[in-house]
Amino acid sequence: MKKLFSKLMFMALAAITFTACEDVPSPYDIPGTGNNVPGTSTEIEGGTGTGSLSDPFNSIAALNYGKKLASGEESSDYYYIKGKVVSVKEEFTTQYGNGTFYISDDGTAANQFYAYRVLYMGNKKFANGDVQIKPGDDVIVCGKITNYNGTVETAQNKGFLYALNGENRGGEPQPATPGADPVGNGTKDSPYNVSGVLKYISTLGTEESPQQVYIKGRVSQVKEEYTTQYGNGTFYISDDGKTSNEFYVFRALYLGNKKFNNGDAQIAVGDEVIICGNVVNFRGNTPETVQNKSYLYSLNGVVVEENPDQPDTPTGEAKGTGTLADPYNPAGAIKYAKEVGDKESDNEVYIKGKVASIKDQYGAQYGNATFDISEDGTANSAAFTVYRALYLGNEKYTKGATLNVGDDVIVYGKVTNYRGNTPETVQGKAYLYSLNGATEPGGDTPEQPGGDVKAVTIAEFNAAAESNDVWYKLTGVVKNLKDGDQYGNFDLEDASGSVYVYGLLSEKDGAKKQFQALANEKGIKNGSKLTIIGNRGSYNGKIEVMNAYFFSIENDGDTPGEDPTGGDTTVSSLTNGGFETWADGQPTGWKSASTASSATLSQSSDAHGGKYSVNVNGKEGSNVRLASQEITLAAGTYVFSFYAKATTADPAQVRPGYVPVTDGKVGSYAYGDYATINNSGWTQVTTEFTLDGETTLCLVVMNPKKSNYSSGKDVLVDDATLTKK
């Protein structure tokens, strides 16, 4: 995977969510990232205590004990650890009842021990009226110790605050496991009770059960009700319906192994249920059903016969290579993530699709969003999960456009097949690269090269050594630049040879603007004589100009060859494309008999060619359209082009397209990419479309509503053409 920029900086995320396997407050720190084990064999000096109540470990002794454990191993016994609170990562809350904090001998950051999600005094959940901990407090923590990926800490759900500033409320080091005796063998005729499935899971280690089992119990907590958006629910069950000796049912489908629908009965605390699914002891400490591999078999005696296998997941043809020039489609991203497995990908990739559903919308509080994308914006094709991705520019969201189902997006980041069954982006390592054509690359970009820059021929460039530190100046003719290219990918050719240019940037500090805007500003097109500066790189054995910057351009007359696409072209009928003819205040040929025409139009003397253009009014609250009269076109590929200009200094956009019309009624609009325009000059906007058969349609130019990228104000349109290739 090559990158457009030489380095990326990612910001840490804080988001409210229920994780896949843990009942925890949020925002939260991920355990196993503190790396507080200083070495593998040498003990830290200053350790005291044996870990008993009468002689607790100090933080150093607890660290020395934990570093002897293998990664992922936890102590068989409970130990007492004494110290002062250094910092509080998660205060105790009544919602979850636990807290997370660091302690050390003297309350400083030296030799800290991590008390991770421990219950309150008395080995009970925190309650209203309980005293909160703070830095400097003297505490004794009781819990099992584990070495979690290099961090010595208390094992999750296996520790509690024994004493706070001299006060303690007792509490058994290892609480007795309440509940009934294990019952059942996990079959439909003899389901496990909760105690039975917990006993069964204890034999699995950290492996997933090889087959589905049936578990019977009563709902004790509902964490996520069933919804039509995702079709599943998350809840706890126990043998008696109380919050003790619970089993975690994680994202289980509804009755009949189907998604939840409107009208289906919701679950509630006290309901008697039977669950069918695969189970696992997640991370060795959370018995639960495996995500997407379980369902509600019975609800209060109501059984819907099921297909024990998971319903087929909508699929599609995997496409793309994950590059900016050739992004993965959602099916391609799913395939790649499955190849990566339950770890994060080594490289960042680009993924393009339409928003199919939104789990967490962009908001200023957390700055990220979680949503699904698919090929067509529906759940009927393969959906890929974008998990806690930052906003445009790889920044936290503060304001601007939010997501809507159907939006066109490109996402950039690392991916994983979470827990082996959920292809998604890696939390904190992905961002929204493009939203409805508005593109804002993220991270740092190479600075404009200074000092020595080597002017070379393309042949000399191709023969040079690959380097990000050496800058070359190349001059050649632009070839194979696609109409409307947003990214600046093309071939540069001189008498000595040719080379591929990957992602041409502005000459000014790597400005974050679409290549199309730069091309319109400078007149870059096929046949342009262009001088650029860049590094020599390669991808899949192909030499490329990387980190390329615009330097200068020579455009003398028309593009050599006149037809850069090759072959002859014919101009199709388009009435009054120059908007020079008007009648009754309307441009002739530009008033649809259907609802495709939704904008108010007026004549403007600010023209690209001739005397007049058309002013397409804007509405801040809704999209409006300029539409041609209905025209009938034969099968084939067409290019619709026009020039556009903003009427104010505010940013504006237009979006070209067409809509089929049958018996006076419009069908589905087919749009090209958004084009950003300004009022300093005219911007050519082009889109290409193919008709499979003779079609009656209206050409349309959409003036979008107010957003972070569009003012929602008037725009000018002139010199429209329709060409059949």
Write out the residue limits of the CATH 2.40.50.140 domain(s) in the chain. Answer: 59-168, 194-303, 454-554
| CATH topology for the 194-303 domain | OB fold (Dihydrolipoamide Acetyltransferase, E2P) (2.40.50)
Question: Rounded to whole angstroms, how far apart are CA atoms 162 and 82?
Answer: 10
pLDDT at residue 483, rounded to an integer? 73
Q: Give residue-wise pLDDT tens across range 97-145.
A: 889 999 999 999 899 999 999 999 988 889 888 999 999 999 999 999 9
Q: What pLDDT was estimated at residue 202?
A: 81
Q: Kindly report the number of other CB atoms within 10 A of residue 243's CB atom.
A: 13
Compute CA 704 distance to the chain's CA centroid, rounded to the nearest angstrom. Answer: 25
**Mean pLDDT in residue range 505-512:** 51
pLDDT, position 37: 54
Report the residue count for the chain.
725
What residue type is assigned to position 501 of the chain? Answer: V
Q: Identify the CATH number of the domain defined by range 570-724.
A: 2.60.120.260
> What are the beta bridge partners of residue 722?
640
- pTM to 2 decimals? 0.30
- Alpha-carbon distance of 585 to 456, in angstroms, equals 57
Tell me which of 99-113, 196-210, 446-460, 617-631 is least confident. 446-460
Angle at 112 between CA 110 and CA 116, to 5 degrees: 160
Q: Given pLDDT bands bounded at 50, 70 and 90, which one contains residue 446?
A: very low
Residue 490 has pLDDT above 80, yes or no: yes
Residue 193 in tokens: 């009770």
Residue 422 above 90 pLDDT? Answer: no
308-333: buried (b, 16+ CB within 10 Å) or exposed (e) per residue?
A: eebeeeeebeebbebbbbebbbbbbb
State residue 560's pLDDT score. Answer: 29
Please list, in sequence order, all residues whose beta carbon lies within 8 angstroms of the beta carbon of residue 19, skipping any fewer than 6 positions away. none
Structural fold of domain 454-554? OB fold (Dihydrolipoamide Acetyltransferase, E2P) (2.40.50)
Dump pLDDT digits (tens) for 140-193. Answer: 999 999 988 778 999 877 899 999 999 988 877 755 444 567 888 999 889 999
Q: Which of 243-252, 310-319, 325-334, 475-484 has the lowest mean pLDDT?
A: 310-319
- pLDDT-derived band at 571 (thresholds 50, 70, 90) equals very low
CA distance 466 to 446: 16
Residue 489 has pLDDT above 80, yes or no: yes
What's residue 326's pLDDT? 85
- Average pLDDT over the chain reads 81
More confident residue, 700 or 663: 700
- The residue among 431 and 549 whose pLDDT is bigger is 431
Q: Which DSSP string do the residues of 53-104 spell out, in sequence order?
A: SSS-B-HHHHHHHHTTSPTT-B-SS-EEEEEEEEEEEE---TTT-EEEEEEE
- In this prediction, residue 614 has a pLDDT band, given cuts at 50, 70 and 90, of very high
Of 144-158, 200-214, 430-444, 610-624, which range is least confident?
430-444
pLDDT at 363 over 60: yes
Residue 383 Cα distances to 261, 330, 373, 426, 574, angstroms: 19, 6, 5, 16, 40
What is the per-residue pLDDT across 682-705, written as a single tens digit (0 to 9) for each?
899 999 999 998 899 999 999 998
Q: CATH second-level architecture of 59-168?
A: Beta Barrel (2.40)
CB atoms inside a 10 Å sphere around CB 467 = 12
Domain ranges in the chain with CATH number 2.60.120.260: 570-724
pLDDT bracket for residue 419 (50, 70, 90): low
* Predicted confidence band of residue 400 (pLDDT cuts 50, 70, 90): confident
pLDDT exceeds cutoff 80 at 308? no
CB 78 within 8 A of CB 102: no
